[in-house]
Structure 1
């Protein structure tokens, strides 16, 4: 996969302020505020920055955490995991493999078959319904 690289000014011009804050500055949206938190439609969630497919709706579940949750990404190479020691805790950050957008974090408390919970900010995603 070829990396998509842009300057922060390019990203700022392309994204709205909340998307820029979360995707490029590693912010987070308020829990239960995201447009995809309760979505149950059939389709694919893409990166808002580069349109790369990230999650299939079949892997989405209601974790009750306030952010869209998935038990696995759409493919092994869809994202990169990074050790995150910010905010006085140790977590695993997930970023888009193509454009390095911050998406959220992955935790080891999800359902079978993976036992993982990818806790993802809605503002990082664009949903495309399946025809």
Structure 2
């Protein structure tokens, strides 16, 4: 009977040791789980911040692209008006394309001296 009692005590001791070991291991796993959950939450917050920032940057890029488009249109309009504002622009274009003095006099109604001067200034060299 003593042997059964000793065997029961031995089994009980082994089970108690196993229970303590499992309890300690469970506590470690809980601690690790909390740390990982907090780490994951921090990463999620970082991702939310990055997404928010990327949306803001995308909006600014769209606004900048629109502004650049408007500025480009204004520059083109200005250049066109500047070219049109030059009184001899069309004549100079004709001279550059190889027109002679007689053609300039006939087409634009300028004097011979003006035609010759424009050919000298803007003609092919």
Q: Same fold (TM over 0.5)?
A: no
> Higher helix proportion, which one?
2
Relative CO higher for 1 or 2, CA cutoff 8 Å, sep ≥ 6? 1
Whose Rg is larger?
A: 2
The TM-score with structure 1 as length reference comes to 0.16
The TM-score with structure 2 as length reference comes to 0.17
> Higher strand proportion, which one?
1
